[in-house]
Chains A and B, each alone.
Chain A
Amino acid sequence: MSTLLSVNNLNIEAHTRTGVVQVVKDLSFSIRKGETLGVVGESGCGKTVTALSIMKLLPKETLKISSGNIIFNNKAINNLSDRELENIRGNEISMIFQEPMTSLNPLFTVGEQVAEVVRRHKKVSKERAWNRAIELLDLVKITNPEKKALDYPFQLSGGQRQRVMIAVALACEPKILIADEPTTALDVTIQAEILALINRLKDETGTAVMFITHDMAVVAQMADRVIVLYPGEKVEEGTVHEIFNNPKHEYTKSLLAAVPKLGEMVRRKYPEPMRLIGKGDTRIVKPIIGTDEPILSVKKLVTRYSIRGGLFQRIKAKVHAVEDISFTIMKGKTLSLVGESGCGKSTVGRSLIRLVEPASGEVYLDGQNILDLTVKDVRDARSKIQMVFQDPFASLNPQRPLFDQVAEPLRNYGIFRLEELQKRIGDLFDRVKLPRSFMKRYPHQLSGGQRQRIAIARALALNPKVIIADEPVSALDVSVQAQVLNLMMELQVDLGLSFLFISHDMAVVERVSHDVGVMYLGRLVEIGPRQAIFRNPHHPYTKDLLKAVPIADPSKRNTEREMNFKPLPSPIHDLTHDPKPSEYKKVAKDHYVLTTDCGY
């Protein structure tokens, strides 16, 4: 196959306040006709910068190509003027971005936005462009394209918007499609649909795809060839099978070791920490057994948010965020709640410590019903049950040094003496493996993983019995994610902690949990021991969810066929709506499946 695009000895410099930083170093690669090139690497490795440099979309003041050339169709394109490039951008090379919510103009209908690209490059009449737009929307499997073309972006779901973005990108039958993390912001079922769509379009139109992602599982599903970037340099290149089955470079090996693969825990009854490569990780990996003694039990929890409107701000409707949920967490064990965005899993976590007020239900912690307590007593109960949040960049106050942030819970519960605080916080820093010298630092001086360690230290400060971890690793790079997961599991063994682990990532959940609950539209559709849920799912939603998860193994591809999952119905109901209680059928020991209709 002939080479379509080649990048030779590309060097890119970033000009910052503190000096010049080399972000891409001597990078060479090529894309052939009709192939998918996967570009993988962790955040800051220069993968997006490389993609933008091909389109010459780098911000001119800060990022500059210092040397190297980019050859497209036997013609150097890195020295073309913006005007000359306009005929290439969107016409012969086009791009899809990560965030479908912001990459469409909210003031034009989606049909207009697709038609505009066609008109710009093909010089056809308005009417023909519109017809072509509808054709394209049909091609990306938007149902009822004539009607949907008249919709504005806000009327479409995230997945549909990304489909429209793909339609825009494909409008002029480009030779290369650059997809920069096109599914990172999407739910796993929608991700599966979009990946399958890109694959099908590639086969049908013969477009070459440059697929940029941080997710090894997605690369395994999509790519023909892979290049691995590690701070600005290409460390390895090969076919997808070579990279996954026989990695040569140390970095690729450690990256692959850090990726939890769905299905690798099937034979193990108890979760265990991951074996990581490098950094002298020689600990003996032991399974975490836990106990069968209940510590937290939740009965018939219901949480609803009010939607107010009108002149007097009366309650007009309710969001049924959590609908009749019951579960029990054992001492020293982890229960995971999985589900897609908007299924109410985070609301469950927040309801348990009354960060949001549940409508009804009972939450027993050590035999005490938290929902019965007065506001003052809730404060005391919160010392036994602590939270770790998703985004380590948002969960620490940027204005306060780390010592004060970790000390805050202790000060709240009456420990003020400086020597005691210093001793306890020093111990906590040791526990989460951060140097004590970090105490005087500010959050912005830390990496994402280090920040999450601080958040964990803060949660541990009061010696809680239960920790609610709300997506604790989903904002982190894979290698850091593995370290934080291992740290959490180690702490579980050492301190006998129980976790409520809230996540959308099935592979991570399989790695850490003893028990798993699957949530859909506020209901718990299936709950049981991890092995049972993963090996023998009963509820149709659980089955579909497991089918949609990409596996970090190129020999197990599931994006070959088109997928179409049911869109999520709205959880908003008017005040008269009275949902049925959740009823379950027992299918095995401790394994229950919802029999009430949940909308799936």
Chain B
Amino acid sequence: MTDNLNINAKPRSKIKDVWDQFKSHKGALLGAIIFFSIVLLVMVGPFIWPFDANQIDIRSRNQGPSLLHPFGTDQLGRDTLARMMAGGRTSIAVGLAAMALSLFFGSFIGVTAGFYKRLDGVLMRFTDLFLSLPLLPLLLVMMLLFREPLSEAYGPERGMFVLIVVSIGITSWMPTARIVRADVLALKEREFVLAAKASGTSDTFIILRHIMPNVLSPIMVSATLGIANGIITESALSFLGLGFPPDFPTWGRLLNDAVDYLQQFPERVFWPGLAISLTVLSINYLGDGLRDALDPRMRKR
């Protein structure tokens, strides 16, 4: 710390500061560009691309990459690129929604347990309980129990979407809760929280103004891992044949279908695998940069 700081420096807007810091992290910038390109591609792509994801053309099945089908076709002659784009929509949507849900549960339980000592024991035992449940059997039971009623209520695809997001959400919040709780426990003893209390700040505002902004960084890390986890769990469920209906493409489903043809057409595993890895990796970098950018200490003077 030095005393000779520039006193006359012009105050700048916070959003500009955050953006400036974010820009200076090259990896994060690249991650953001790649992630948003993938999102744009899967959102807009299906409207432009002439083939439909479920359009069967048995005569041109099992083709390699060509100008007409850049990623080739599958065993029923469906265009792989079209299926990749359609599948990406679902996979990314599932990943984001499941992440949001698990972050919400995780942060809420973590902050509550860390801040209110009385609730700590109960909430952490509850977390331990969830951690000790065998996840896959639990997910299977949930799928079997709720698939029918939800399909009836929202239609087969949307019902399945809600079911998958909720099941991933409520089975993956525990690590977030633990990390957040640990950070809150440490923060709670910091003097600025005591100072806020001493100057009459209510608990709600202490949590909102002082605790939450300071636990943002572990939450951010959980978020990036959470999206990855969401996409991968959905793939696993699809792989087990318990996710979306068989004709409904997702990256996990594509991966699953491709495994049967691994010997003859290894590139079919490659494309969805690459898409999943690229998305997860770019989100990790994006989250890393965002975390730094939101911390005023990391910003340049």
- Chain A residues proximal to chain B, CB less than 8 Å: 18, 43-44, 313, 350, 353, 355, 379-380, 382-383, 386-387, 389-391, 394-400, 404, 408-409, 412-413, 435, 437-442, 444-450, 455, 458-459, 461-462
Chain A residues in 8 Å Cβ range of B9: 437
Q: Determine whether the beta carbon of A400 is less than 8 Å from that of B213.
A: yes
Number of interface residues of B (CB under 8 A): 32
Complex Cα gap A439–B301 (Å): 15
**In the complex, chain B residues whose CB is within 8 Å of the CB of A379:** 200, 202
**B191 CB within 8 Å of chain A:** yes
The answer to whether A400 and B209 touch across the interface, beta carbons within 8 angstroms, is yes
A408-B7 contact given A44-B1, A442-B297, CB 8 Å threshold: no
Name 29 A/B residue pairs within 8 A (Cβ), A-sorted: A44-B2, A350-B194, A382-B200, A386-B199, A387-B198, A389-B191, A389-B194, A395-B192, A397-B213, A398-B295, A399-B210, A399-B214, A399-B216, A400-B210, A408-B201, A408-B209, A412-B200, A412-B202, A412-B205, A413-B200, A435-B7, A437-B9, A441-B11, A445-B301, A446-B5, A449-B3, A455-B195, A462-B199, A462-B200
Which residues of B come within 8 Å of A, CB atoms? 1-3, 5, 7-9, 11, 121, 190-192, 194-202, 205, 209-210, 213-214, 216, 295-297, 300-301
Given known A44-B1, A397-B214, A399-B213, contact A391–B191 (CB-CB < 8 A): yes
Among A43, A350, A398, the residue within 8 A (CB) of B214 is A398
Please give the distance in Å from B6's CB to the nearest CB on chain A. Answer: 10
Q: Which residues of B contact A353 (CB under 8 A)?
A: 198
In the docked arrangement, what's the CA distance between A413 and B198, Å? 12
Judging by beta carbons under 8 Å apart, are A386 and B198 in contact?
yes
Instruction: Identify the interface centre among A380, A399, A412: most chain B CB within 10 Å of its CB.
Output: A399
A78–B209 Cα distance when bound, in Å, is 50
A389-B191, A391-B191 known; 9 new pairs, CB 8 Å cut-off, are: A379-B200, A386-B198, A394-B191, A395-B195, A397-B213, A437-B9, A445-B5, A447-B2, A447-B5
- Considering residues B2, B191, B196, B300, which has the most beta carbons from chain A within 10 angstroms of its beta carbon? B191
Q: Please state if A448 and B191 are interface contacts (CB–CB under 8 Å).
A: no
Nearest to A385 among chain B residues (CB) is B198
What residues on B are CB-neighbors of A440 within 8 Å? 11
- Contact call B191/A390, Cβ cutoff below 8 A: yes
Within the complex, what minimum Cβ distance (angstroms) separates B9 from chain A? 8
Contact partner, A408, options B11, B199, B213, Cβ 8 Å: B199
A394 to B194, CA, bound (A): 10
What 3 A-B pairs are tightest by C-beta distance, nearest first?
A: A440-B11, A409-B199, A395-B191
Select which of B11, B202, B209, B295 is within 8 A of A437 by beta carbon: B11
Cα distance A413–B202 in the bound complex, in angstroms = 11
Question: CA separation between A438 and B197, bound complex, in Å?
Answer: 24
Residues on the A chain within 8 Å of B192, using CB = 394-397
Interface-central residue, B1, B194, B196, B213, by most chain A CB under 10 Å? B1
Contacts A44-B1, A394-B191, A394-B192 hold; do A355 and B7 have CB atoms under 8 A apart? no
Residues in A with CB closer than 8 Å to B121 are 313
Choose among A383, A408, A442 the residue with the greatest number of B CB atoms under 10 Å from its CB: A408
Q: How far does the alpha carbon of A412 sit from the alpha carbon of B201 in the complex, in Å? A: 6
The 8 Å CB contact of B1, one of A18, A404, A408, A447, is A447
Q: Are B297 and A398 in contact (CB under 8 A)?
A: yes
CB distance from A278 to the nearest CB of B (A): 13
User: Which A residue sits closest to B8, measured CB to CB?
Assistant: A437
Separation of A435 and B295 alpha carbons in the complex (Å): 24
Indicate if the CB atoms of B199 and A461 lie closer than 8 Å: yes
Residues of A within 8 A of B297 (CB): 398, 442, 444
Provide the residues of chain B in CB contact with A387, threshold 8 Å: 194-195, 198
B4 CB, nearest partner CB in chain A, Å: 9
For B200, the chain A residues whose CB sits under 8 A away are 379-380, 382-383, 409, 412-413, 462
Give the CA-CA distance A394 to B193 in the complex, in Å.
9
Q: Please, which residue of chain B has its CB at the minimum distance from the CB of A438?
A: B7
CB distance from A212 to the nearest CB of B (A): 19
* Residue numbers in A under 8 Å from B205 (CB-CB): 412
Q: Nearest Cβ in chain A — how far from B160, in angstroms?
A: 40
Are B199 and A458 in contact, CB atoms less than 8 angstroms apart?
yes
A496 to B131, CA, bound (A): 58
Judging by beta carbons under 8 Å apart, are B194 and A355 in contact? yes
Chain B residues lying within 8 Å of A383, measured Cβ to Cβ, are: 200
B219 to chain A, nearest CB (A): 13
Q: A442 with B296: in contact, given A382-B200, A409-B200, A437-B7 (CB under 8 Å)? A: yes
Q: Smallest CB-CB separation from B121: which chain A residue?
A: A313
* CB-defined contacts of A398 to chain B, threshold 8 Å: 214, 295-297
A394-B192, A400-B213, A442-B296 given as contacts; is B197 within 8 A of A355 (CB)?
Answer: yes
Chain A residue contacts of B190, Cβ below 8 A = 394-395
A439 to B7 alpha-carbon distance, docked (Å): 11
Q: How distant is the Cα of A408 from the Cα of B202 in the complex, in angstroms? A: 11
Closest residue to B196 on the A side, CB-wise? A408
Give the CA-CA distance A380 to B200 in the complex, in Å. Answer: 8
Query: Contact partner of A444 among B3, B197, B199, B296, CB < 8 A?
Result: B296
Q: List the A side residues contacting B300 at CB < 8 Å.
A: 18
Complex CA gap A446/B297 in Å reads 11
A470 to B28, CA, bound (A): 43
Chain B residues within 8 Å of A446, by CB: 1, 5
When distances are taken between beta carbons in the complex, the residues of chain A under 8 Å from B195 are 387, 389, 395-396, 455, 458
Q: Which residues of B contact A448 (CB under 8 A)?
A: 1
A114 to B19, CA, bound (A): 53
Q: How far is it, in angstroms, between the C-alpha of A431 and the C-alpha of B296 when the chains are bound?
A: 26
Q: Nearest A residue to B13 by beta-carbon distance?
A: A440
A459 to B196, CA, bound (A): 10
Rounded to whole Å, the gap between the CB of A8 and the closest CB of chain B is 28
